[in-house]
Chains A and B, each alone.
Chain A
Amino acid sequence: MKDYFSKTLQLAYKDLLIEIKTKEMITSMAAFSAIVIIILNFAVTENLSNNYSEMFPGLLWITYIFAAILGLNQSFAFERESGAIKGVLLTPIDWSAIYIGKTISNYIIILSVELLTLIFFIFLFNLTGVITALPKILLVIIVGTFGFVSVGTLLSAITSSSRLQTMILPVLLFPIIIPVVIGSVEATTIALNNGENYLPWIQMLSAYAVIFFTASILTFNYVMGE
């Protein structure tokens, strides 16, 4: 069991190392988020800093989901391109470790982009009111992101052998992660307004994350096998 965990972390470390060296994913995702924010500035004519508690959660999570899709699309690209997947598959461990490793690395990369995006939002729209609710919002981001990254990584492995590749992932992923989007937006809104029912949403998001993480671990072997 200890061996399994260390190898899983090793696989995650490999991906993170590539990312640290190239910085491709983080740069493009952060740039994309910034562009979305700029477009939102024109699309939302209402002054966001006055009325942020209604609009902001939705806009934030839309930006997150779209940026994350970019990263998830690329998550198995390195392996597929150079045939390196064969090497990874030959590692003497259960293939579920590959999935867990990939999920961890995707999670860390996407989470860091999300934090950057949050800072962009607060800074560019002058949302000083958000800062007081920051701990609660961060908890939503941590739980919610794991929910969609866990199932997103599995689907990304599936779509990497599809002819439509990057086109089909959002079509498959978005309808499945709707509960996460609803839960995260609601929890963020409640956190901003300091309202009740914050915990039930966090519980739902955690339940979702656990269910899909488990289901993905169980089915990943079928995705990888030749």
Chain B
Amino acid sequence: MQQKIDKDNLLILATTIVMAITIYLIFIYSPTDIEMGVIQNVFYFHVALAWTSFLAFFIVFISSIQYLRNESRNWDITAYTSAEIGVLFTGLTLILGSIWAEATWGVFWTWDPRLTTTLIMFIIYIGYLTLRHSLETEKTSRLSAVYGVIAFISVPITYISIEIWDTIHPRVIEISEVRMETSMQITMIFSVIAFTLLYITLMRIRKKIEKDRDKVYRSKKIK
């Protein structure tokens, strides 16, 4: 028990340090973009959050399959908590992306394949969480796991379909190749690591809460 708590604290400490370094890198170390100015700094957060939310939804998919295979409560909690954090991070990705898009493209939103898929994914996993809350049977975990599997399969197909659709229709805004300086690359890498660590930390804390809730529930039931 003691060792486990230490591990958690260590993780929180590591996340805090890496995050602090990242913020230093983003706001002070990395050069301000000549064309876009300060707004470019949003990009570091945006990309890191987007990557982490994709990871989170992938974890939902994997844990759902694992749950269906062996019905272990641990996988169920992993799927659920990962979906929660994924939805939060995707929401932030969309908001930060819109802010960046307004400054760069002049519009908050454009129906680019990547943007559209992200929005659809966001809605799919809001549906996943709503479904979970609304199920009132003993099969809750199993039914949500089935949806977790089906939902993730649809993401790549949606992306492909929007992509071909887009090649038939002209694209409004063409994204030019972004060439980055070394210092910017370093900042980006740190930012991705920091947010991945944040995701792992949040997952651990959230899973612990869920396991504690299970314990309380069980002891209540026994009495």
Q: Does B150 make an interface contact (CB < 8 A)?
A: yes
The count of A-to-B residue pairs whose CB atoms sit within 8 angstroms is 95
Say yes or no: B139 contacts A211, CB within 8 Å.
no
**Other-chain contact of B134, A163, A178, A204 (Cβ < 8 Å):** A163
Complex Cα distance A9/B48, Å?
A: 51
Say yes or no: B135 contacts A163, CB within 8 Å.
yes
Q: 8 Å CB contacts to B: which residues of A127-144?
A: none
Q: 8 Å CB contacts to A: which residues of B64-122?
A: 68, 120
Known contacts A158-B143, A168-B131, A172-B131; decide if A182 and B165 are in contact (CB<8 Å). Answer: yes
A194 to chain B, nearest CB (A): 15
Say yes or no: A158 contacts B154, CB within 8 Å.
no
Interface of A is mostly: helix
Q: Does B160 make an interface contact (CB < 8 A)?
A: yes
Known contacts A171-B127, A212-B150; decide if A182 and B68 are in contact (CB<8 Å). Answer: no
Say yes or no: A226 contacts B139, CB within 8 Å.
yes
Q: Does A10 make an interface contact (CB < 8 A)?
A: no
Complex Cα distance A110/B186, Å?
A: 55
Interface of B is mostly: helix
Say yes or no: A175 contacts B124, CB within 8 Å.
yes
Q: Does B219 make an interface contact (CB < 8 A)?
A: no
Say yes or no: A175 contacts B131, CB within 8 Å.
no
Say yes or no: B150 contacts A163, CB within 8 Å.
no
A215 contacts across to B, CB distance below 8 A = 149-150, 153
Q: Does A162 make an interface contact (CB < 8 A)?
A: yes
**Other-chain contact of A179, B68, B150, B157 (Cβ < 8 Å):** B157
Say yes or no: A178 contacts B120, CB within 8 Å.
yes
Say yes or no: B131 contacts A158, CB within 8 Å.
yes
Q: Write out, one digit per residue, whether chain A residues 26-43 have a CB within 8 A of any chain B CB (1) or not (0).
A: 000000000000000000
B70 to chain A, nearest CB (A): 12
Complex Cα distance A24/B164, Å?
A: 39
Q: Write out, one digit per residue, whether chain B residues 138-171 have a CB within 8 A of any chain A CB (1) or not (0).
A: 1100110111011101100110111011001000
Q: Does A12 make an interface contact (CB < 8 A)?
A: no
Chain A interface size, under 10 / 10 to 19 / 20 to 34 / 35 or more: 35 or more
**Other-chain contact of B142, A151, A177, A200, A223 (Cβ < 8 Å):** A223
Tell which of A155, A162, A186, A201 has the most Cβ of chain B within 10 Å.
A162
Q: 8 Å CB contacts to B: which residues of A207-225?
A: 207-208, 211-212, 215-216, 219, 222-223, 225
Say yes or no: B131 contacts A179, CB within 8 Å.
no
Q: Does B174 make an interface contact (CB < 8 A)?
A: no
Q: 8 Å CB contacts to B: which residues of A151-181?
A: 151, 154-155, 158-159, 161-164, 168, 171-172, 175-179
Say yes or no: B135 contacts A222, CB within 8 Å.
no
Q: Does A197 make an interface contact (CB < 8 A)?
A: yes
Complex Cα distance A216/B153, Å?
A: 11
Known contacts A200-B164, A225-B142; decide if A216 and B150 are in contact (CB<8 Å). Answer: yes
Known: A172-B124, A219-B68. 7 other contacts (CB 8 A): A154-B150, A162-B136, A164-B134, A168-B127, A175-B120, A182-B162, A208-B157
A-B contact pairs, 20 of them (CB 8 A): A154-B146, A158-B147, A161-B135, A161-B136, A163-B135, A168-B127, A171-B123, A171-B126, A172-B131, A175-B120, A176-B150, A200-B164, A201-B164, A212-B150, A212-B154, A215-B149, A215-B153, A219-B149, A222-B68, A223-B146
- A-binding residues in B (CB < 8 A): 68, 120, 123-124, 126-127, 130-131, 134-139, 142-143, 145-147, 149-151, 153-154, 157-158, 160-162, 164-165, 168
